[in-house]
Chain A
Amino acid sequence: MVNVMVCIKRVPETSGQILLSDDAQSIDARHVGYTLSSHEECAVELAIQIAKATDGESTVLTVGSQDAVEQVRNALAVGCSAAVLVEADPAAYGPADVAQAIAQVVRAREAAGTSYDVILVGNDAADTGDFQVGVRLAYALGRPVLTGISTVEMSGDTAIAKGKGPEGTEVFEIPLPVVIAIQEGGIEPRYPSIPGRMKAKRIPIDTVSSPIEPAGTGRVRLELPPAQPSVVEVLGEGPEAAPAVVELLYRLGVVTK
């Protein structure tokens, strides 16, 4: 039985133009909504698969405000079996704070008898892109850690993990308990069904207040890079533009024959 915890973060769902708040301290996402990073969607799926294959539990955890319940419910709807909301103002929490908060909650729950053999996180958050919560969490718990992993399988007390390396697919065999940062690419996340959503509504979300005083993010302010004026040269419309395209390819030296 392998118990898995998967840690997720609610992030703005921005794909077009980005607006900053008036004080330039945050992204104004009121009109675009919120989502999960794709890395974390994969981590949630993996948590469910590992737990299912080993008759363990899959617990979803987030450090955030009450609003993050939306993302937690989605994880429950696709099959996580328990949920923890560590209530905190996410804007005040740097990556080291998030790691400390999770570590303390894990320790408290383990002291009370629930173990987490595998803790999954996303490789890097879609918004702040800090690349370090998983590693800091592992150090706080004194556990080994892997990052950039796309698939994980259990073999007894060992996790067999694979990820993309500079020379091919790297394979790791790492003893439990372990922290693993997941990267999109090896796992197909599933999408919630209606019965899944109904079932998720009945699972209680264990809400705890943050066990730590955050040290902060070091953020001075956000800035939008200066808008680049469009310099596009339209070569033409439709198939008639083909000769102009080919001419360009020769001019750039892309075709030499």
Chain B
Amino acid sequence: MSSAVLVLVETDAHRVTETSLETLTFARDLVKRRDGAQSHALLVGPVDADLRATALSQLADQGVDVVHVAQHDGLSAYSAASWATAVVAAAAASSAAVVLAPGTPRGSEIMAHVAARLDTAMAANVVAVGEVDPLVVSRQVMGGAVLELMRLTGRPAVLTVAGHAVEPASADHSTQPEVNELQMDLLETDLLGRVVRVEASELDDTAALTGARVVIGAGRGAGSANGFDGLLELTRLLGGALGVSRVVTGLGWRPHHEQVGQTGTRITPDIYIACGISGAIQHWAGCQGAKTILAINTDRDAPMVTRAHYAVIGDLHEIVPAVNEELQRRMG
């Protein structure tokens, strides 16, 4: 019996997501290191013809050998339990030794169901594989400030891959994946936790934060709920999004959906301009995906400053308006 490494692939309306490509890249290394293992992927849910074609070519580019496609009337709306049923079916069909998903909220949720059903251990937010047999992985704990080496003896091993653990890359040789239309039965109980509707609300603004190329960060240094004028002006001038620390949301200065960090949003902008933020580890957990960090802070020794790429030392209430003025001058 050959063994397989199975990846649960997430898609948006058009294609396989970036975090899924990272997970596939991560899984390929595992396949290489397990002699004779096959690379399997699973697509779940409403997948129309266009999405299917795009996804299959992306998975071919990732060197996947077999793509399981789970389509079922019960998969028209998301529920973690029914997605987990698909994963368990695909794991059985492929006799998977390792099952992986991206470390997104849904990826983590579905894998927890899979691990509970298969009564096997799960490692969340894995960043690297140490030994392959028995499997030892390195994963983020303490919001990414500490790594835990964890041994997974159960089979299959279940894990989620932390965002940015690897850069997504194509396989050396692309494949022509075999497609397996997955047979599965959903139980009534699988559907109890399904999404009954999606509401547009202020929570949606997080999407703006997640996708923003420019994020202006604000912390306790803003001083009060009225201390955001200059910061909001800078955000507007740069066409970015405002992100804040938990002190700011905790004091009620700004709404929670703007919070960046371990218990807020994880951002990946081209530049993060962190103003009056000390750079606690829980905040880093959310902003370490920024390409460039510019810190504006009165304290030269604040972790936000020492770990940034660039810094300006001083009072944000003087610096930010000056930057705005200079920007307006140059932008004409």
Contact = CB atoms under 8 A, between A and B. Distances in A.
Contact of B327 (A222, A234, A235, A255): A255
A23 to B, nearest CB: 13
B198 A171 contact: yes
Interface in A166-220: 166-175, 183-186, 188, 217-220
B257 A172 contact: no
Contact of A238 (B136, B160, B294, B318): B318
Interface residues of B, number: 92
B199 A129 contact: no
Interface in A213-257: 217-225, 228, 230-246, 248-250, 252-255, 257
Which interface class (under 10, 10 to 19, 20 to 34, 35 or more) fits A?
A: 35 or more
B93 interface: no
A127 B271 CA distance: 28
Contacts of B78: 165, 170
Contact of A233 (B106, B307, B311): B311
Given A37-B263, A232-B306, A147 B112 contact: yes
A124 B325 CA distance: 43
A201 B108 CA distance: 38
A136 interface: yes
B201 A239 contact: no
Contacts of B140: 129
Contacts of B105: 147-148, 164
B147 A252 contact: no
Contact of A252 (B292, B319, B325): B292
B125 interface: yes
Contacts of B51: none
B69 interface: no
Given A18-B142, A232-B310, A243 B326 contact: yes
Interface string B137-167: 0101111011111111100000010000000
Nearest to A15: B280
A159 to B, nearest CB: 10
A218 B310 contact: no
Nearest to B197: A171
A221 B198 contact: no
Nearest to B158: A132
A152 interface: no
A164 B96 CA distance: 31
A241 to B, nearest CB: 4
Interface string A128-171: 11111011101100001111101000000000001011111111
A71 interface: no
Interface string B225-261: 0000000000000100000001000001000110100
Contacts of B197: 170-171
B147 A224 contact: yes
B81 A248 contact: no
Given A220-B149, A223-B147, A168 B200 contact: yes
B204 interface: yes
Contacts of A145: 80-81, 193
Contacts of B332: 257
Contact of B313 (A130, A167, A231, A234): A234
- Among B146, B152, B282, max chain A CB count under 10 A is at B146
Nearest to A256: B331
A167 B150 CA distance: 34
Contacts of A218: 121, 123, 150-153
Contacts, number: 257
Given A27-B146, A222-B148, A249 B271 contact: yes
A126 B309 CA distance: 27
Contacts of A223: 138, 146-149
A231 to B, nearest CB: 7
Given A165-B78, A173-B196, A135 B294 contact: no
A96 interface: yes
B116 A136 contact: yes
Contact of B326 (A39, A94, A234, A242): A242
B198 A14 contact: no
B124 A131 contact: yes
A246 B314 contact: no
A203 B106 CA distance: 39
Nearest to B121: A218
A20 interface: yes
Interface in B275-325: 280-282, 292, 294-295, 300, 303, 305-315, 318-319, 321-323, 325
Interface of A: 12, 14-16, 18, 20, 27, 37-39, 94-96, 124, 126-132, 134-136, 138-139, 144-148, 150, 162, 164-175, 183-186, 188, 217-225, 228, 230-246, 248-250, 252-255, 257
Interface of B: 12, 78, 80-81, 105-106, 108-109, 111-113, 115-117, 121-125, 136, 138, 140-143, 145-153, 160, 189, 192-201, 203-204, 206, 213-214, 238, 246, 252, 256-257, 259, 262-264, 270-271, 280-282, 292, 294-295, 300, 303, 305-315, 318-319, 321-323, 325-327, 330-332
28 contacts: A18-B145, A18-B281, A39-B263, A126-B282, A129-B125, A131-B124, A131-B160, A132-B112, A132-B124, A136-B115, A138-B116, A139-B117, A164-B105, A168-B204, A169-B199, A170-B195, A171-B195, A171-B197, A173-B196, A174-B192, A185-B203, A222-B148, A231-B309, A232-B306, A232-B311, A246-B326, A246-B327, A254-B214
